[in-house]
Amino acid sequence: MKTETKTKPSKKKRVLRALVVLMLFAILLPLATNYYVMASTENRIITPEEAANLGADAILVLGARVWDNGQPSGILKDRINTGVALYESGASDRLLMSGDHGQEDYDEVNAMKDYAIESGVASEVIFMDHAGFSTYESLYRARDIFQIKTVVIVSQKYHLYRALYIARALGLDAYGVSADRRDYNSYWLFDAREILARCKDFVYSIFQPLPTYLGEVIPITGDGSATNG
């Protein structure tokens, strides 16, 4: 009686199977990371009414695009307006505008502060972080430069999950309030880019590299005019 012998898969088939496994891993790992980041921070996104009772050290408004004429983009105006409304409701008596001012001809933070002042907020309670070049750096510097421990983060909801995840990893007691005040034409693009950004900051939250700049401590309890310039 003959015994059947199993033939080994050819080298080509083995390579193909390995490639399929790698492709599935490359797809599933970012999706799993995104799900974890979002699910673990969902309960930290609160309403403006809930934020009004926090008495946080500061309201952190995260930067976004400023047009060539120096005016905040629509998405940034919504963030500033939300931050000002939270300030007026008593969520905190300090605003921290954090964004990109790495070049003389591009300045998010002064545009943000000017807009808030035009809305009736006094200069001395508005701080600027000129080196908030990324969400991670904004939160790292909020903790180490501005000595913030409890913070209300303001951004659109798609962005809040990542910001809150980073904040928690850095030891901040953080809550988020959504600045979604309109329909954004490019929201699908923001969502797509955010998948990769969440994966990047998931890794950053583990290793916690230093930001581009640190510097002298500027306590958020002081005078925001010290950050003018």
What pLDDT shows up at residue 14? 74
Instruction: Report how far residue 210's alpha carbon sits from residue 9's, in angstroms, rounded to the nearest whole number.
Output: 49
Q: Tell me what pLDDT residue 191 has.
A: 83
* Residues 82, 49 contacting (CB under 8 angstroms): no
Query: What pLDDT shows up at residue 3?
Result: 53
Of the chain, the end-to-end C-alpha distance in Å amounts to: 91
Q: How many CB atoms lie within 10 A of CB 152?
A: 27
Instruction: Identify each DSSP E strand in the chain by its residue range.
Output: 58-62, 95-98, 126-129, 150-155, 173-178
| CA-wise closest residue to 73 among 184, 158, 227, 154 | 184
pLDDT tens figures, 118-175: 999 999 999 999 999 999 999 999 999 999 999 999 999 999 999 999 999 999 999 9
- Tell me the C-alpha distance between 218 and 46, whole Å: 28
Low-confidence ranges of the chain (pLDDT < 50): 1
Query: What is the spatial distance between Cα 65 and Cα 143, in angstroms, rounded to a whole number?
Result: 24
Alpha-helical (H) ranges within 67-222 are: 74-89, 108-118, 135-144, 157-169, 187-207
Q: Which domains does the chain have, with CATH numbers?
A: 38-215 (3.40.50.620)
Q: Shortest CA distance to 111 belongs to which of 98, 92, 120, 124?
A: 98
Model pTM? Answer: 0.89
Q: Are the CB atoms for 62 and 99 separated by under 8 Å?
A: yes
